[in-house]
Structure 1
């Protein structure tokens, strides 16, 4: 590199290192702020991509600088040390059509049934070729009328590569690594959670997951009010710069009728991932609040209700959920089926015992889920049957009863017991993560609010 400076030129000014570091940090903060805040024409309800922290940016810059220095100092490798180049192949692509078999596809590229047999007799996961679906792609590399390689593209991230070896064909499954990006979204409910979440940029899957996380504390049909709000930090999985699918919700807050619930995702070695309050209590209760997702309550718990069929004062010892015939009914807690059959006015009914204290009853079913019978053990959220109108019922609905120590209780208002909290050995690590995530929720919410106020002042 030519140096154009001369001895006559004035020396360059020297600045203290502390000043240079301060300027660098201020610049990074400004860049972070500008990338985080939404554009002036955005609304307060939206999704933003979270950028790396200043420390992460500085670390990345240092690492890259070191890489460049190492590259400039590295000697040219000897030709003998270079790895052999990957052979260039001419690929022929074939889309799997409806009704296709391997023989059909192989025939279209000039291969025979013998080739199919040799491939399927190969080593590795060749059996995956038995599960081809219309729309998928198969790529063939043929040299001198002989199949040397085959790539079965199962999805954007998965493929099966089969290559000819010295002892036949060998199949190997390849998985492309997805890059997680962390994003933030918030919204205020005016009519429904789904509309507010859609406006905030959340997918239907993430919205359902959000409802599942807080479903033990909030009935999203009965309890939702205008003005309720949510904040979510979640992941998006990207491949080659494009979003492929949703990731996990890392932290979320939901404010319902003035009360705010906060959930933090944390993974332990023995239990896997679950959601906890910032203090380490499980968000999961021993029971779901409702056995049907997003169903309307058609009749409440009332011990002096007039029966709609018998027209007499008869205690209504449960809650009725109106739903279309065939809607899945879920067990609200882990337990054992102690009765599954017809029971007078209840029609087809399932009764589940949950330990020594609790019991739940599900009536008027159209039919039972496969495997549900007396003695069957069920898990919370497992489908046990489907909505119907058997017994004394005016139309399809679920009648749900909740018992504590043999006494019937209102399923909507009964205090539900908590599941197990974070294990003691994981408590300190969890609290550190929880503090960080709660801080991030507050930081990004404040940034969004500041931008909204700035727009109003314009």
Structure 2
């Protein structure tokens, strides 16, 4: 009952009660003296006069007088949308000065600038409202730890759990789509996209798959203390498309190569946009849906949602970025001396004439500007000034592994 009442008291009152109890405790421990000793002492004191009692409480365990101890408070804070470190500290009762000191806890502490909604911060706060430590597990294996030192400054370090890497293997057959076949083979969504990315220069995953195509994937699995944590990198894979086998092996530079050492990455992407379907293929004679007449269709139309990002098919230099009533917003890119790619009917252009671009860089968004009946990308591929079918043209050979690495 006494303990419950004591806990309910305001903090200042609890300190006063502790001091009083401590004083009584000291008196109780004083050694017994003969009555004569007290009489002789009393005879030297003036009656009615107050004397100050000198008691040193510096090393006295005040907080333990009633067997109670004020412990550090542990807080587990989930990062909300729009949060930053200052907002989180304010909600936890920490001062802006503490926010500043933590932000200056070394280079590693800059990871706190990249906290995302859903992340969790573990805070240890002492009874005086001062931060003692912060832990931020920013991955399944790594935790940032910020600790307060004796001089009130903070230091940071990263603790990494030891990961046991094991290999796993799966295979599957395509019946209607690679996506469904991948899920049936117990590949994750991310792994399915990785496989499509590895073979995307050689296999048309939108229209080129056939029933009976097959795939084989070897990948890493990560374990900590015998518990599965996550899937790691794909180590090797093979895709058999229409009877032709494509094999990829991951090298120590993180890229994939054929068994002969040629890079799986080609100079050009087959399709520079994630499309729903091909609405019009490369044809020598096609009835134009807007002009209502027969004419050559010298590219491929990829139907896609308006605003879908369009990527540069290869490294190069923008030789035209403009608008006209036929092509709408369009971009032309020169790739060396031999190749030119053209992208028509953008909603918006993201690059300017003279700008250098890299393969995969967003150069515009799908639209229907110019002579277009609906949102799509019209894509052309020219070799030495002659239009070729982007879906079937023979792409430049891949670069092999550098000799110094082989």
Q: TM-score under structure 1 normalisation? A: 0.67
- Cα distance change on mapping 1:348 and 1:100 into 2, 3 Å: closer
The answer to whether the 8 A contact 2:275-2:302 is kept is no
Moved more, 278-287 or 175-184: 175-184
Match of 2:74? 92
Whether 1:160 aligns to 2:139 is: no
Whether 1:149 aligns to 2:130 is: no
Question: How much has 1:118 moved relative to structure 2?
Answer: 4.0
Give, in whole Å, the separation in 2 of the partners of 1:230 and 1:331: 28
Question: How much has 1:177 moved relative to structure 2?
Answer: 4.1
Whether 1:225 aligns to 2:210 is: yes
Which structure shows the higher helix fraction?
1
Whether 1:322 aligns to 2:303 is: yes
Question: How much has 1:108 moved relative to structure 2?
Answer: 6.0
Give, in whole Å, the separation in 2 of the partners of 1:103 and 1:312: 64
Which runs of no fewer than 5 residues in structure 1 stay unpaired? 1-88, 428-458
Q: Aligned runs of 1:415-454 on 2, under 5 Å? A: 415-427=394-406
- Cα distance change on mapping 1:248 and 1:365 into 2, 3 Å: same
- Cα distance change on mapping 1:166 and 1:124 into 2, 3 Å: farther
Which of 259, 271, 283 is equivalent to 1:290? 271
The answer to whether the 8 A contact 2:275-2:304 is kept is no
SS of the equivalent of 1:195 reads helix
The answer to whether the 8 A contact 2:274-2:308 is kept is no
The structure that has the greater radius of gyration is 2
Q: Aligned runs of 1:408-419 on 2, under 5 Å? A: 408-419=387-398
The answer to whether the 8 A contact 2:79-2:120 is kept is no
Q: Aligned runs of 1:375-414 on 2, under 5 Å? A: 375-414=354-393
Give, in whole Å, the separation in 1 of the partners of 2:318 and 2:265: 22
Give, in whole Å, the separation in 2 of the partners of 1:240 and 1:294: 43
The answer to whether the 8 A contact 1:330-1:381 is kept is yes
Aligned length: 333
Give, in whole Å, the separation in 2 of the partners of 1:326 and 1:381: 16
Question: How much has 1:134 moved relative to structure 2?
Answer: 4.1
The answer to whether the 8 A contact 1:95-1:134 is kept is no
Per-residue displacement from partner, 1:117-154 (whole Å, max 9, x unpaired)?
44445445334444444433333334553543232333
Which runs of no fewer than 5 residues in structure 2 stay unpaired? 1-70
- Cα distance change on mapping 1:115 and 1:259 into 2, 3 Å: closer
Match of 2:45? none
Per-residue displacement from partner, 1:310-331 (whole Å, max 9, x unpaired)?
1222111111111111111111
The answer to whether the 8 A contact 2:75-2:124 is kept is no
- Cα distance change on mapping 1:395 and 1:118 into 2, 3 Å: closer
- Cα distance change on mapping 1:232 and 1:118 into 2, 3 Å: closer
Give, in whole Å, the separation in 2 of the partners of 1:300 and 1:153: 50
Question: How much has 1:406 moved relative to structure 2?
Answer: 0.6
SS of the equivalent of 1:305 reads strand
Per-residue displacement from partner, 1:140-197 (whole Å, max 9, x unpaired)?
3345535432323334333221222243221223333433221111000000000000
Question: How much has 1:300 moved relative to structure 2?
Answer: 1.1
Which of 188, 194, 198 is equivalent to 1:213? 198
The answer to whether the 8 A contact 1:305-1:316 is kept is yes
The answer to whether the 8 A contact 1:263-1:275 is kept is yes
- Cα distance change on mapping 1:112 and 1:419 into 2, 3 Å: same
Match of 2:241? 256
Q: CA RMSD in A?
A: 2.4
- Cα distance change on mapping 1:106 and 1:401 into 2, 3 Å: closer
Moved more, 119-128 or 231-240: 119-128
Question: How much has 1:100 moved relative to structure 2?
Answer: 5.5
Give, in whole Å, the separation in 2 of the partners of 1:129 and 1:356: 47
With a CA cutoff of 8 Å and minimum separation of 6, indicate the structure with the bigger relative contact order.
Answer: 1
SS of the equivalent of 2:165 reads strand
- Cα distance change on mapping 1:109 and 1:345 into 2, 3 Å: closer
Which of 256, 262, 271 is equivalent to 1:275? 256
Give, in whole Å, the separation in 2 of the partners of 1:177 and 1:263: 29
SS of the equivalent of 1:304 reads strand
Give, in whole Å, the separation in 1 of the partners of 2:145 and 2:209: 51
Match of 2:108? 125
Question: How much has 1:344 moved relative to structure 2?
Answer: 3.9
